[in-house]
Amino acid sequence: MLVNLTDIFSSEGKTKDMDVSIEMEVFSSRFGEYPILEKSPISFRFEHISSDRAKVSGSARVVLDMQCDRCLKPINQEVCLAFEREVSPVLEDGAEISEDDDAGIMEGYSLNTEVLIYNEILMNQPEKVLCKGDCKGICMVCGHDLNDGECGCDTFVPDPRMAVLQDIFNANKEV
């Protein structure tokens, strides 16, 4: 959604609180596509700084449908967002007042809330997603979930075929 901030830029001392819903249904990044299972509205506060500067702060919460990096079990990953930044208008003739990172977030005098929230999720999503801190993962031999107990496979002796592949891989790496 585009929120017009003209009155925030133009009126000294002006502040405005506003709730905006998140339209995005799926969060896609280079790591994958994650459906958004739950989302709160974004609660915004806008504050005048100068005629071409405003403070945007707010918070939101989303729950992403992700999976454990080790055992691949589905996880409802909560991501809590709390942000505070300054924005400037990005003028259409290219004579922008703002810094580069406002591009996309600001369109003219309006704030694109979807772009802002996308960037916030990107910065705040956990690097490692685990169902629990000590998840044992799955057996590389039989695929058994090792959190449910040992499967009895000997995982310490590499499969000779795998060893050959490993050698090829290493040889290629050295080239």
Partners of 79 in beta bridges: 62
CB 138 to Zn ion: min, Å = 8
Amino acid 134 reads D
* Residues at the site binding Zn ion, with contacts judged by CB under 5 A: 68, 70-71, 131, 135, 139, 141-142, 144, 151, 153
CB 168 to Zn ion: min, Å = 25
Q: What is the DSSP letter of 127?
A: S
Instruction: Please tell me the distance from the alpha carbon of residue 147 to that of residue 130, in angstroms, as a whole number.
Output: 12
CB 74 to Zn ion: min, Å = 10
Q: Which is nearer to Zn ion, 37 or 139 (CB)?
A: 139
Amino acid 56 reads V
Q: Which is nearer to Zn ion, 60 or 71 (CB)?
A: 71
CB 120 to Zn ion: min, Å = 26
CA atoms within 13 A on the CB side of 44: 27
Instruction: Please tell me the distance from the alpha carbon of residue 54 to that of residue 119, in angstroms, as a whole number.
Output: 18
Q: Which is nearer to Zn ion, 40 or 155 (CB)?
A: 155
